[in-house]
Amino acid sequence: MIYQNIINDSITELYTNGGGKTYLTENYPTNYRHFWTRKVLGQGESADTYREATQQEKADYEALPPYVRPPQVFIDQWNAACRYRNEDGYVTVGRYNEATGYFELNGLLDITYQQAIEIMQAPPKWTNNGAFSEYACQYTNSAIRTHLPVDTKSNYGATLNGCFHASEVEVIDLPATRIKGAMSCRKLRSLRVTCILDACTQALPALEEFRYAGDGAGGRPRLNRYFNQSSKLSRQSAINLIEGEPDGDQAVTYTVHPDVYAKLTDAVNYPEWAAVTELAATKNIIFATT
């Protein structure tokens, strides 16, 4: 257990009471891990910056070979690749973090050098399948955790068919892309696209976060939505879906996992979800489950 000793208004010390069997360590991914029994919080730090670690965890970490910083030429290539161009210029979505020794991209903060190499070796390159602005996804069965960005200025409105089908992807961030076709991404936790065109999202068991990119003006059809297997879908994601749905008189149905449906229909135990159902009603949206 971690304890706090507030020395004065500006100095707080954290410590463990494990008798030398537990330690404080960084509560975030890092290749430069430290272990303390007592730690004074630095500027901008809080108790959440650190977590408790066991003696075995400390021994296991100290038995690892020393961390070797990746070659600077690769770091420069990564930093240059982790941005995309839009109408206003360039947007940066990743970097090499000198403080942690990890590569970052699309919200992932713990990409290893080897994983970064694999991502760099598979830049987005859509293959036209004959339909106007519709492309077959190259990442079927891919093992990469996420992908390099695509310029929105030159690719806005493209439709990706079979988006990362049966892949190991954890984060998809395609702010200029519409998706359709089977996905079945068992590790996908975060998804951002401009438009969902069919039931492609129904088999995403790890999905927690969904966001629309852009307002979808003129290009986002009013359709039934399917998140049948997404038991971890967040409240904010449900709100994002509703707010991004075009207005219309015809009712549409959002099919969600039973765990999510239970929150939507139990105002006593989940009062914070009541606003979601109220918002859905204003858009003529009905929730259902399987």
> What pLDDT does residue 125 have?
81
Read off φ and ψ for residue 74, nearest 5 degrees.
Answer: -70, -40
What percent of the chain is modeled with pLDDT above 90? Answer: 76
Tokens of 94: 């990743």
Q: 263 vs 166, 201, 270, 290, CA distance in Å?
A: 29, 20, 6, 15
Q: Is the pLDDT of residue 126 over 90?
A: no
Sheet holding 171-173, edge to edge: 171-173, 190-193, 209-212
Residue found under tokens 């076709």: 181
Q: What is the mean pLDDT of residues 183-191?
A: 96
Which pLDDT does position 76 carry in this prediction?
98
Interval 237-244 mean pLDDT: 96
Give mean pLDDT, residues 15-27: 87
| Vertex 228: Cα angle to 226 and 232 (nearest 5) | 110
pLDDT band, very low/low/confident/very high, at 130 (cuts 50, 70, 90):
low
Stronger pLDDT, 27 or 126, i.e. the higher one: 27
- For 39, phi and psi rounded to 5 degrees? -150, 125
Express each pLDDT in 138-165 by its tens digit: 899 999 999 999 877 666 678 889 989 9
* Exposure string over 189-218, b if 16+ CB within 10 A, otherwise e: bbbbbbbbbbbbbbbbeebbbbebbeebee
Tokens 């990409």: give the residue.
Answer: 111
CA distance 39 to 27: 13
Q: For residue 66, what are the CA distances in angstroms to 3, 31, 40, 114, 147?
A: 31, 9, 26, 16, 28
| Inter-helix orientation angle 72-81/113-120, to 10° | 50
Look at residue 127 in the predicted model and tell me its pLDDT: 64
